[in-house]
Each structure stands twice: as structure tokens, then as C-alpha cells.
Chain A
């Protein structure tokens, strides 16, 4: 074992200099080989995280700014239509990617986020292109219905524990009921998509409560425990 004469202590491991004071250590090992350290050398892992963080923040900033920028263009700027659509598409893609990365460990939660983000964005898009209610008429019901079907497939394909998806499945189904509200308020042009979506959601609610009622109540009691 080597010694640091400045600190007057023995230093274990293959250090050349004292980890405390930095002075050169004395006394070689008998075999000439340095004694291995009781701690492994763990390489730095930080740069990757820093890059990821910077990228995420920059992307979020750009996305937020581009949403604001869209509001500045007049509704009637005809020539901008195509450009705007392409640009919003790019922004939407990034938003979904960022959400998918941050929620990658909880698929059911990601689906809820996806429905909320995509629904919100289509409403916004609709608003930018002189509100014709296409988002509420078609986009939101289709999105909700598709997400419910998607969720059912996901649960079938991936071995998920009921507890892991039941709350977010519930939320998805509740979102699926919102088109009915839009319908009753008369905000939609064509009733069919909302009706289909609502019916599907109701069916799933009934299914969930009859087949998994106990589990749902148990999970809700757990999460809402006071």
C-alpha cells in the first residue's frame, strides 16, 4: 500500500497522487503491480444528458414560438396555407416525439397525452384556418376512438399489469365521451363520427366496469387513498 507523507496516511488502490492533497505517493507495491482499488472507476456519464436536456429545451422553445408565430399571420393570407400546414406538421411531429420520449415508460399515459396534444393542436389548426369545426366534427372523435382501439391493442400485445393501465385507460375512455358533449352543444357539423366515438367509449366503459370492476375500484382506492 502506498503512503502519502503529507497527510500521513496509507492510500489503497492504484493512485499515483494522494486523492486528498494531490502530492505524489511513496512506496511501491512489493510485486511492482499497483494494488487494485476497492472501488471501480466509473466513467463520466454526464455529457449525454446535458446534450439531451439542451435539445429538449430548445425544441420546446422553438415549438412554442412557432405556435405563437402562426397567430400573427392573417386568416386570409392564402399563399401561406400550404407553408403553414407543412410547418405545423413538423412542429406536431416534434411535440409527439418529445412526449413519447418523456413518457416512454408508461404507454397508457402516453396515449392520454397524445390524444390531448393532438386534439388541442387540431382545434388550434382549425382556428387558424377560419374555424369550420372540422376538428371537433372529425378530428377529435376519430382521434379518441382510434386511441381507445389503440389502447386495447397495446394491452393485448404488451404484457401490462392491469394496475399500470387501468387509470389511464379510464381517462382515455372519458376523453372518448367528450365528442358527445360537443354534439349536444351543437358544435359539430356532422353527427356520425361523434356518435360512433361516444358509442365505442360507452361500450368500453361498460366492459371495463363489468369485467374489471373490482380491479378498477381497487386501483382507484389505492390512488385516491386519503
Chain B
């Protein structure tokens, strides 16, 4: 009789099962383009190897009376030829499946993950490990260089607060995986709840607990940003912000079968970095300002006084070192009102940067996270049955969605360990979305922007591309067929 090990899905990650819908299954995809057609047999072997190293990825999600919980399983993952849309649903209630999948199509390998399991950084570790294991098998002659080159690139420290990929992206997956096993305490308890003694379970169970222990704080949808910032540092930004400002939201026609509309713009990273540098801002805020501009140009209803808001995730591992592959990020909301002064993308980016910098400090984040954890630990909140929690969380999520125009996520510059580095070209990053969104990732000097949206309209991406090409950047587009017209000739 096998007694399964389990660990509660923390309150912060609970938002993902609760906010999951047909339109937005809360799945994200990380992909890599290799220099050859993928060999499924070797990829399967590589997957089995990586899977061994990431006990967290063995978990299935189950529903308790009060909380969701992750439970260890004996399921084995299988690589498959890509046959579903980008970010197809992964978790279905009552269906005990792994919370991730690995698919391949021609030269691409993609890892899709249900967000309650892991965040972009954790998934990037897994993908890095997978790609290393694969390329080691595919090119056995090329000995790994020991990851030394990867360690040099650490953009995070100096360039803060641009969501620095910090050690994250540049952290070789294998190394990260090993560190995970060394971890004795979860980051969540470590940083925000004070020290507690933990039980010592055995072997696999031990790995599972460590990896699955809640490291999280998805502040994202959990709280009204106004309430989240009560300290004096925020006094002026609060008083300057008129109460109850209507945030411009993008509307459109839903895709025919609720699939995520995925478009991908790739370009050399250097010219874009140069453009951002010329404006004196971090790349993420520059790209965000361009996004606002693209939406303003394409949306007639975005009048002069329109306010646009974006949510930008911040990887907490850069402030609170952690090797947990679980969710460990907070989101910061930035906004801009058009028609009040200089609306040029550069000026907008500078203002966004200012607001972002003020909030992306360890002190500000820590205050906020302590607060959230207090709410989670509140006895009354704990005894509310899970279906009621789900309902409340999905209502909070909806309210929060109303205060956002777009969402942005930047994984930054990724460096893979050898020999994967040599055989991987562009990388891709997409997140299922209820609103237009882009995700950026840079590898091998190529910046890829993965645009996702629940709508068939593509005008904002067209404007975005034109803004970039207008500035002299060479852009290429890859798109998944989505609308009924585009799929007219495709047999089911």
C-alpha cells in the first residue's frame, strides 16, 4: 500500500485553479528552436532524466475540502508531437494528469506548464535541464564546458529593477536542479513567516516536500494594489491618482474554439536594447510603453484621457535568493494616462520605469508579502471551504482583470549550458491570456516577443511590429493558425 506524499497548494497559488477558465487555462509555454529536426526518441530519454531530478514535476493537483494540494504520483511523462493549440488546458478537475507536457514540432521543443505548479523561472530550469540532457545525447562528442560561461552573464544585479533575469535565466538547469535538492527550508517560510521546524520525511518524499513546499507569493491577483501599498512612501502616488479611474480595456471577438491566439515576433536583441538605452530606460519598460502605444493606435475607444495599466511580474528570487522551482514572484502594476503631457513611447517608458522602480525594492516587496501571508494565515480564511474560496478568488481575479489593459512578462536573457547553448537558437515564451499580453525572452542574441490574446484581432501586434520596423529593427513573424478562415483547409 503506497501512501502518497502531499503538500498543500498555498493560498497564493490557489488563484490559478480558481481563475482558470475555458478562455485562459493558466498554462504557459517555454520553447526552444534547435538547429535540427528534433529526435523524439532522444527527447523522451532526456525527459525521463530531467523528470528524475525534478520531483516537483511528478505532482498532480487534487482538491481537498479547504485547499488544493499537490500529491506525488507514479505517472510518467511522454513527449508528443505537437497536436494541440498553444497553451492548451492541462489541469482538469477529477482527471489526474501531470501538470506539464513536453511537445515537439519540427525543430522546436516546447514545455507547457500549469501555472499552479511552477513559474517561468522554475519552468526555465526544467527546460534548461531537458535541453542539456537532450543535446548531450544528440551530440555526444561535445563535452559540456562546465557552465563557466553561463555564470558570467548576470544582468540582474546592476540593471535592477528591470525584471532582471538575474541568476534565473542564466542559471544552468542542472545546477539549479542540484541546488533544489540541497534546500532544507522553503523560501516562503524562510522569508515571510519566520522560521519553523520541519518534519524530516524520507528520500523521495523528502525531495517532493522540499520542491513542492510553497515558496510563493503570487500577489498578482490577490489584492487591490491600492490596499497593498499603505506605507508612507506611497502617499504621493496615491494622492496624485484620482480615485476610481476607469482603465482602458481591449475588447474583441473571441477565437472560435477559445484557443489562445499566439503570434511571435522575433528580432535581433541588440537594436532593441540600443533603442531602450537611448531613452534611458530598461528594456521591459520600453517594450511596455510600445505596447501601450500600439494599443492606443489601434483602438478607437482609447481616447485622449485613457489610462492604460499593465501588470509586470517580478521574480522574487533576485531579492530573496531561492532555488525553489515553485511559483515565487510578485506582480507590480504600472499605468499611464494619455493626454497629460508627453505621450511619446520614450517619455511613457521613463515614467513607467519610475513607478516600477519605486515598487520593485526588497523592502516594499517584503512589506507587501508579509501582509499577504498574514491574510493567508488568518484563521477565518483557513476554514472557508475550498469551493467558496475558489469563488471568492475568481471574483477577486475578475475585479483585478478590470483594472488591467495588458500584461507583460520578461524572462530576460537566457544562457544555456554547453552543449545546448550551441544548438539552440531562438527561444519562445507564451502565456495563456484573458487580455492581450506579451512575453519576452532573449537567447542567442535573438529577442522573441510572444503575443497572446483571447481575441482574433491582430491589429495591436501589427502596430507593434510597425513601431519596431519603423525604428529600423528587422522583425520576423511566426503565427499559429487560429481563426476559422485561417483553418479553413485543415481537416479535423
Interface membership of chain B positions 1-23, coded 1 if the CB is closer than 8 angstroms to chain A and 0 otherwise:
11110101000000000000000
Q: Which residues of B contact A225 (CB under 8 A)?
A: 8, 64, 66-67, 69
Residue A27, interface by CB 8 Å? no
Let me know if A19 and B466 touch, CB within 8 A. Answer: no
Residue of A20, A36, A45, A214 touching B477 (CB-CB under 8 A): A20
B3 in contact with A215 (CB, 8 Å): yes
What distance in Å separates the Cβ of B12 from its nearest Cβ neighbour in chain A?
16
Residue A206 at the B interface, CB < 8 A? no
Q: In the docked arrangement, what's the CA distance between A1 and B474, Å?
A: 13
> A8 at the A/B interface (Cβ < 8 Å)?
yes
- A222 touches which of B6, B96, B105 (Cβ 8 Å): B6
How close is B490's CB to chain A, nearest CB, in angstroms? 5
A11: CB under 8 A from chain B?
Answer: yes
Chain B, 163-188, CB within 8 A of any chain A CB: none
B491 in the interface (beta carbon within 8 A)? yes
In the complex, are the beta carbons of B105 and A38 less than 8 A apart? yes
Look across to chain B and name the residue whose beta carbon is closest to the beta carbon of A37: B478
Is A46 in contact with B257, judged by CB distance below 8 angstroms? yes
Docked Cα-Cα span, A9 to B469, in Å, equals 7
A147-183, CB < 8 A from B: 161-164
Chain B nearest CB, measured from A88 CB (Å): 29
Contact A105 B95 (CB under 8 A): yes
Residue A189, interface by CB 8 Å: no
Determine the distance from Cα of A131 to Cα of B382 in the docked complex, in whole angstroms.
45
Which chain A residues lie closer than 8 Å to B99 at the CB level?
none
Cα of A40 to Cα of B491 in the assembled complex, Å: 12
The answer to whether B83 and A40 have CB atoms under 8 Å apart is: yes
User: In the assembled complex, how far is the CB of residue A169 from the closest CB belonging to chain B, in whole angstroms?
Assistant: 15
User: Hey, which chain A residues are within 8 Å of B94, CB to CB?
Assistant: 103, 105-106, 109
> In whole angstroms, how far apart are the Cα atoms of A12 and B337 in the complex?
36
Contact with A162, one of B1, B258, B491 (Cβ below 8 angstroms): B1
- B4 contacts A163, C-beta separation under 8 Å: yes
- In whole angstroms, how far apart are the Cα atoms of A112 and B152 in the complex? 60
- Chain B residue with Cβ nearest A105: B94
Instruction: Tell me, in angstroms, the Cα distance from A225 to B9 when the chains sit together.
Output: 11
A7, A8, A18, A222: residue with the most chain B Cβ atoms closer than 10 Å:
A222
Q: Is B492 an interface residue (CB 8 A)?
A: yes
Q: Which of B49-57, B129-137, B401-409, B479-487 contacts A (4 or more CB under 8 A)?
A: B479-487
Question: A7-B466, A226-B66 in contact; A19/B105 too (CB < 8 A)?
Answer: no
Q: Looking at the complex, which of B116-124, B344-352, B435-443, B457-465 is the stretch in contact with chain A?
A: B457-465
Quick one: CB contact mask for A18-45 with B, threshold 8 Å, 1 for yes? 1111000000000000001111111111
Is A13's CB under 8 angstroms from B479's CB?
yes
Q: How far is the CB of B436 from chain A (nearest CB, A)?
A: 14
The answer on a CB contact under 8 Å between B479 and A9 is no
What chain B residues lie within 8 Å of A38 (beta carbons)?
Answer: 33, 105-108, 264, 478
The CA of A83 and the CA of B345, in the complex, are separated in Å by 74
Bound CA span A21–B461, Å: 10
Chain A residues near B2 (CB-CB < 8 A): 161
Lowest 8 A-B CB distances belong to which pairs?
A46-B257, A39-B480, A20-B462, A43-B492, A10-B476, A19-B479, A8-B469, A223-B64
Q: Can you identify 17 A-B contacts, CB atoms within 8 angstroms?
A: A7-B462, A18-B477, A20-B477, A37-B480, A39-B479, A40-B83, A42-B481, A42-B487, A43-B490, A43-B492, A44-B490, A46-B256, A222-B64, A222-B69, A222-B71, A225-B67, A226-B383
Query: Other than the known A7-B462, A39-B480, what 16 A-B pairs have Cβ atoms closer than 8 Å?
Result: A7-B469, A8-B466, A11-B477, A11-B478, A11-B479, A20-B477, A38-B33, A38-B105, A43-B490, A44-B257, A45-B257, A45-B492, A46-B257, A49-B257, A109-B94, A161-B4
Chain A residues in the interface with B (C-beta under 8 A): 1, 4, 7-13, 15, 18-21, 36-46, 49, 103, 105-106, 109, 161-164, 212, 214-215, 218, 222-226
- Which residues of B are in contact with A by a Cβ distance under 8 Å? 1-4, 6, 8, 33, 64-67, 69, 71, 81-86, 94-96, 105-108, 256-259, 262-265, 382-383, 458-459, 461-462, 465-466, 469-470, 474-481, 484, 486-487, 490-492
